[in-house]
Amino acid sequence: MITTVDLGDYTTDIYFSELKKENNYENRLLISDEHIYRANKSFARYWDALPENHRLLLPAGESAKNSASLFRILDAAFDAELDRGGEMTAVGGGVLTDMTGLAASLFKRGCAAVFYPTTLLAMVDAAVGGKTGIDYRGMKNMIGTFYPAREVRIDLSFLETLPENEYRSGLGEVIKTAMLGDASLFRLLREESAAFCRRDPEKLRDAVARCVCIKARFVRDDFREHGIRAFLNWGHTFGHAFEAAAGLGTFTHGEAVIWGIDKGLKAAELLGKGNRSYADDFRELTRRYGFRTEAPVSDFSLFLKALAGDKKKNGGALEFVLQSGPCETFRAPLSDEILRKIIPTV
């Protein structure tokens, strides 16, 4: 369970220097991916200096989020002779932290997981809150556990080398989180969009810390998602179906979430619970960051099929997370008639 949020000065440089100084890698396995290794030269230098049986480099990307990678982590932990007091340290994005968390929860019935999230999305969402998983049978996160990392250490310098589309994807989750829990951050994201677009370190530090605090509140109150944790899926039900209908990879996750939030605001309005000026502020904000909320769905029946298959379907009735204003979130079913009105088609 998350107990403290402190952005401190935990840089990867400090961590690796300490590891080296004290030969401190005994009982630790470090896991990263090929993309991070190639993109970060100083990280690669530290990595190469680690003993081979205490490090594991996996292929990058969603396609590697599978049982083969999971068992490579577990095998590497056995080869490194970790015991139950051991630690798996993941340096990577959400795919890697999800898989490492799952492996840590399974290894000898549970060893510690420590995460260094390297993407904005993982810093504010995936690495925080204890959801672990791998994809299975073509479906995302179908095998997983709730198992929080012992520590999440956020080194913002990783954001300097993050590709633009991944950075914007993370901004999508930052915007979502602000809408759920911090009206002043939502305002700041609008007013300071230029600073966020150029990745101003101070602005990012503040926004990331605030997002982690907001998420920590939801997770603390509802760790296993029996109730309000589902609010963190704001924009996701529409967004996932949009991603599926557009073809996975056409839109980034954050872009799809912003698209979904736009539809959620429209649905709330049709239910008589909307807030026009809030929706206008949201749309102005998304334009400033270049999100495409008008993008149409090319295959509406595929979109509906993806909605029906959404794993958040609860007892046969699909409830959508919606908002009637900043930090005013609720859940409601939506009729096919409303869906037809809010989803743009070609």
Rounded to the nearest whole angstrom, what is the least distance from the CB of residue 239 to ligand GLY in the complex?
12
Rounded to the nearest whole angstrom, what is the least distance from the CB of residue 261 to ligand GLY in the complex?
14
Q: Which DSSP category does 32 fall into?
A: E
HSE-CB at 72 with a 13 A cutoff on CA atoms is 18
The 67-106 site mask, x for binding ligand GLY (CB under 6 A), equals: ----------------------------------------
The residue type found at 150 is R
Spell out the residues 6+ positions from residue 78 whose beta carbon is closer than 8 angstroms to its own.
none
Is residue 148 a contact point for ligand GLY (CB under 6 A)? Answer: no
CA gap 64, 33 in Å, rounded: 10
Cβ nearer to ligand GLY, comparing 112 with 180: 180
- E strands within the chain? 28-33, 55-58, 87-92, 112-117, 134-136, 139-143, 151-152, 320-325, 328-332
Is residue 229 a contact point for ligand GLY (CB under 6 A)? Answer: yes
The 2-31 site mask, x for binding ligand GLY (CB under 6 A), equals: ------------------------------
Rounded to the nearest whole angstrom, what is the least distance from the CB of residue 222 to ligand GLY in the complex?
9
Cβ nearer to ligand GLY, comparing 80 with 149: 149
Q: How far is CA 45 from the centre of its chain?
A: 27
Is residue 266 a contact point for ligand GLY (CB under 6 A)? Answer: no
Nearest-CB residue for ligand GLY: 232
Q: Which DSSP category does 137 fall into?
A: T
Count of residues that interact with ligand GLY, criterion CB under 6 A:
5
The DSSP-derived string for 9-20 is T--HHHHHHHHH
CA-wise closest residue to 72 among 110, 31, 119, 23: 31
Cβ nearer to ligand GLY, comparing 232 with 338: 232
Q: How far is CA 148 from the centre of its chain?
A: 14
Rounded to the nearest whole angstrom, what is the least distance from the CB of residue 29 to ligand GLY in the complex?
24
Cβ nearer to ligand GLY, comparing 125 with 166: 125
Cβ contact 170:156 at 8 Å: no
Is residue 131 a contact point for ligand GLY (CB under 6 A)? Answer: yes
Of the candidate residues 125, 135, 243, 255, the single one contacting ligand GLY (CB under 6 A): 125
Is residue 55 a contact point for ligand GLY (CB under 6 A)? Answer: no
CA gap 31, 92 in Å, rounded: 8
Cβ nearer to ligand GLY, comparing 228 with 302: 228
Of the candidate residues 129, 148, 181, 326, the single one contacting ligand GLY (CB under 6 A): 129
Q: Look at the alpha carbons of 337, 323, 195, 15 in this order and tell me if their dihedral is positive or negative.
A: negative
Residues that bind ligand GLY (CB under 6 A): 125, 129, 131, 229, 232
